[in-house]
Chains A and B, each alone.
Chain A
Amino acid sequence: MKEELSIVGRRVPRWGAYDKATGTAKYTVDIKLPGMLIGKVLTSPHPHARIIRIDKSKAEKLPGVEAVISFEDIPPKLFAPNRHDLILYHTENERKDMYVISEKARFVGDRVAAVAAVDAATAQKALELIEVKYEVLPAVLDPVEAVKPGAPRIHDYAENNVSLHLDFPLSMGDVEKGFREADFVLEETFRTSKQQIAQLEPCACAASFGPDGRLTIWSPAQGTFLFRTKLAELFDMPEGMIKWITLHVGGSFGKFGSLSVEPVCVALAKKAGKPVKIEYSREEDFSGTEARQTYVATGKMGVKKDGTITALQEKLVVDGGAYFTRNSTTTMLNMCGFTGLYRCPSVAAEADCVYTNVPTTGGIRGYGNSEATCALEQLIDRAAKEIGMDPIQLRLKNIKKAGDLDNKGLPMETCTLEELIKLGAEKTGWAEKRARKKQKGTKRYGIGMAIMMDLSGSHPAAIQHRNAYIKLNEDGSANLMVMAYDMGQNMPGACAQIAAEVLGVRYEDIHVVTGDTDSTMFDTGSGGSAGCYQVGNAVMKAAEEARKQLLDRAGKRLGLAPDELEVKDRRIYAKSDPRRGISVGEVARQATYNFEGEHLNISGKGSFSPTQSPPPFAAVFAEVEVDVETAEVKILKILYINDSGRVINPATVEGQVEGGIAQSVGYCLTEDYVINKETGVLESDNFTTYKIPSTLDMPETEVILYEEPVPSGPFGAKAVGHGTMNAVTPAIANAIYDAVGVFITDMPATPERIFEALRR
C-alpha cells in the first residue's frame, strides 16, 4: 500500500453536497409519480383496545377514494419490522409479533386502517368516515408495572409482558465473590429516557406496481436488501420482483433500521392498482415510528480502595413499547457496554425485555451502549468519590489496552483510551480545575468526564456481508456501485475517497451509484456504524482488483511489469522513471476501443464479511455551571476526543461527532418523552413540546480527531457516528455531580429533577 495518501484524509465536499445546497437533491417525500395517490393511516386513540368491528363502507364511497384497508385486507402474517431475524445468529432471541395493520391496538398510534385517495384532503376525509368499534382494555404504560402480577397482558404469548429474558452470554467469573472482595460496593438504579430520533425528514414511502407485477418501492430504510426479503415474504413475491430505491435520506440515526409504513403503502398500492405515497406529519412520525428504549438499569460495582474494580453486575428492565422490534440486539449491546469497557474479572448481566402500551422502540444511534455507558460512567465517578480517588486515575487503573478483549469479546487491534484520557486531562487543565476551591455562590462550576468504547458494525452477533463493484469509464473515471446510501453520514463520499485513492484518480472521478437494489450487489445494510469499516473494505477490494487490471494493461503498453508501476493523479508511470508513463484515461479507452482484440472493461468486485468490529474510542470532557437557585444547567464547554482510526474525511468525522454531541445535549438535558399517564397519549409529539437543541442551546464544542489506524480497516478507518451518543451524557452528568454533588439517575436532567435532587 502506498504510504503517502493523496485523497484519503482530505476535506473534500461531501457526496451530494451540491445537490443539497441547491435544492435539487431528491428525498422520499419529494416523489411524485404519474397518477399517484396519497395514502393516510388511521391509528388507535386508545393505548390498548380490541377492535370489534370496522366499517369502511362510507369511506369507500367517498369520491376520490381508491382503496381502504384494515386488518382483514392484509396477509395474516406476523412479522418483525426490523431486519435482525434474517441475520442474527441467535434468531431465537427475535420475535415476530406485529401485523401490517393491527388486529388489536397496543398503543395510541397503532395502525388500524389505511386509505389511498386522489389527494391528501380526500384521504383525510376518508379516514374520518371509517367507523371503528373498540373494546377498550386496561393498559399498562410503565415497564416496572407491566411485569407485576395482574398487569394487563399485551401479547398473548408473553407472560407478565416479558418478551425476552436474556442472560448475558459473556458473563464470567464470580460476581458475588468479587463484591465480597471489594472495599466498596455501589448500587444504583438509572432510568434513561425514551429519546425521539426527530430526524427532519418525516417518515415517508412510495410504492408502485408495474404492469408486469413488479414492485418499485421508495423508502429511507437502512437495509434495502433485507427489507426487500421481508416484503417478499409478506406479500408472497420473489425478491427479484421488487426493486427497492433509497434516495437521499433526511436523517435516520437507526430509526429506519425497521420497516414502518412500507408494508401499508405496498398493500394500498396493490389494492388500488396505482402508485401510492405516504408521508407522515411530524406528530404521526413521533408517535408512529420508533424511538429509543427506556432502560431501567440497576448497576452494581465492587471496587477496592486502590481503585481495582472487582465486579460489575447489571440488571435491566427494558421498556420496548408495544412491539418487540429491536429489543434483543439493543439489550445485548447494553450488556456489552456495561461489562466490557473496563478490565474486570467478574461480570454478569441479565435483562427482561418488557412490553408496555406505549409507542414502539428501535435501535437508535448508540443503542444500548449509550444507556449502559451513561450508567457505568456515573458509577465510576461515584466510586471514585467513595475511595477518595480522582475519577481519571480510577479509569486509568482499570481501562483496557490493545490485545485485551473488546466489549463484544473480540481481541482489540488498537486501544487508545489511555492516550485520549491523558490528552483531555491536559487540554482541560483537569487537575487544577478539580482541585479548585468549592464555590459558595448560586452559580457553581463543575467539570466531569466519561469515556466510551463502541463498535464498527454488528459482527459477531449478525451476518454482515457487503459488496462493491467498480467499473472504469472510457475517460478513466469510474462508476462505483455500492449500497452506501446517504443518511447524512456521507458513506458514498467516503467510499469514493477510498476508491479514488486506490485507483490513483481524482475524488470527482468516482461516480457513486447507490440506493438501488437493481444496480448494486447484495448488502446487509447499515447500522451500528458498520458503513465506513465494512463497505469501505469491500470498496477497497473492488478498487484493488480494477487497479490490478489497469496496471496489467498499462504494463503491456509500457513494456513493464505491473509491480514496476505506480498510479497517481490519473497517470500510470514507472516507479524507476516517473517520466515514463501513460494516463489512466488512455489505458481505459484503449482497453475498450481497440482493433487488436483483447477487449476489457476494466472493473473490480469486492466482497467483505468482517472478522472484527474494531471499537472507536472517545474521551469526553464537559464543563458546566449549575445555578442552585433555578436548578438550571449551563454547559460551558464540551471537549470530545475521538479515535475512529484513520480519518477518511475530517469534515465528515467532525460533523458526525458534533452532531452526536448535540443529540446528547438534548438527550441529557431537554428531550423529555412524555406519555399522558391517564390516556397513553404521547404529549411531546412536536418540536415545541419535544425540545431538540437549537443553535442557541449548543455550548462551545471542541473536537479532536486522534488517529490511530486500525489494521483491519480500509486505510485504517473504523466507525464514528454510532458511538458519539455514548459518553457526552455521562460526562455532563458527572460535571453536574462535581458542581453540586447530586446524581441525576433519571434522564433527562431537567431543572425539575435537579431541583428535587438538590432538596434531598
Chain B
Amino acid sequence: MVKKEIVSFKINGRSYEVIVTPNMTLYELLKEQLDLTGTKRSCGVGECGSCTVLVDGNPTLACSTLAIAVRDKEILTIEGLAKGAQLHPLQQAFVDEGAIQCGFCTPGMIMMAKALLDENPQPTRQEVREGLGGNLCRCTGYVKIIDAVLAAAETMRKGGSQ
C-alpha cells in the first residue's frame, strides 16, 4: 500500500490540507482532489505546456511535478488569476484579440505568458515567440496569441486594469 500523508498547499491564495500519495502529480492534485479543472493535461509528459501553472511565480508543468514537491509553496492556477470579476489583462487580451479557439491550450498559455511578462514587461514579438515556444496550440497558428500577449503587456505597462 502506498504511504499517504496529509500535506498543506497554498493554491490561489487559499490553504488546503489534502491526503496525498508520494506519486500524486500536481495536476492530479488540482483536478482530482480539488476540482480545479482549469489546468489542462494534453500530453501528460511535459511536451506541450497545457498544464503550466506558477509555483512561487515560476512556470511549472503540473503533469510532471509531484504534488509533494510543491508543499507550502505559492501555487497560482488559471482560476486564481482574475481578481473577482476583474480579469487579468492577459485574460482580457486573449478574449479581445480572438486568441482563443478550442481553448484547451489557453490556461497553460496564459500562465506561461504571465511568467514571461512578470520577468520581461516589455517583450518584443520575437521574445514572446521564444517564451511561448514550449506551449503547443493546434488551432490558432499562434498569431493572435502573440498579439494578445503584446497587447496585455501594453495594458499592464500603462498600469492597466489590475
Contacts and interface: CB of A to CB of B under 8 A. Distances in A.
B129 interface: yes
A399 to B, nearest CB: 27
A201 interface: yes
A693 to B, nearest CB: 8
A701 interface: yes
Contact of A655 (B41, B98, B104): B98
A23 B38 contact: yes
B22 interface: no
A20 B100 contact: yes
Contact of A659 (B91, B94, B128, B138): B138
Interface in A671-693: 686-688, 692
Interface stretch (A243-251, A323-331, A520-528): A243-251
Contacts of A19: 103
A382 B113 CA distance: 45
Given A14-B100, A23-B37, A655 B144 contact: yes
A747 B38 CA distance: 37
Interface in A191-205: 197-202
A658 B144 contact: yes
A13 B98 CA distance: 7
Interface in A268-311: 281-282
Contacts of A688: 47
Interface stretch (A151-159, A482-490, A508-516, A568-576): A482-490
Nearest to A650: B98
Interface string A622-657: 000000000000000000000000000001101111
Interface stretch (B3-11, B67-75, B77-85): B77-85
A248 B37 contact: no
Contacts of B81: 22
Residue with the greatest number of chain B CB neighbours at <10 A, chosen from A20, A488, A652, A662: A20
Nearest to B110: A21
Interface string A17-43: 111111111110110100000000000
B76 to A, nearest CB: 11
B44 A281 contact: yes
A584 B14 CA distance: 45
B20 interface: no
A22 B130 contact: no
Contacts of B41: 29, 202
A188 B91 CA distance: 50
Contact of B143 (A14, A18, A32, A701): A701
A698 interface: yes
Contacts of A694: 132-136, 142
Contacts of A662: 138, 140-142
B98 to A, nearest CB: 3
A202 B98 contact: no
Contact of A695 (B95, B100, B142): B142
Interface string B38-58: 111111110110100000000
B20 to A, nearest CB: 14
B44 A692 contact: no
A334 interface: no
Given A201-B40, A660-B141, A686-B45, 7 more contacts: A20-B103, A21-B106, A22-B91, A30-B31, A200-B136, A201-B102, A657-B141
Interface of A: 11, 13-14, 16-27, 29-30, 32, 197-202, 248-251, 253, 281-282, 486-490, 651-652, 654-663, 686-688, 692, 694-696, 698, 701
The 8 closest A-B pairs by CB, nearest first: A23-B38, A651-B98, A20-B103, A488-B102, A250-B104, A658-B141, A23-B78, A488-B101
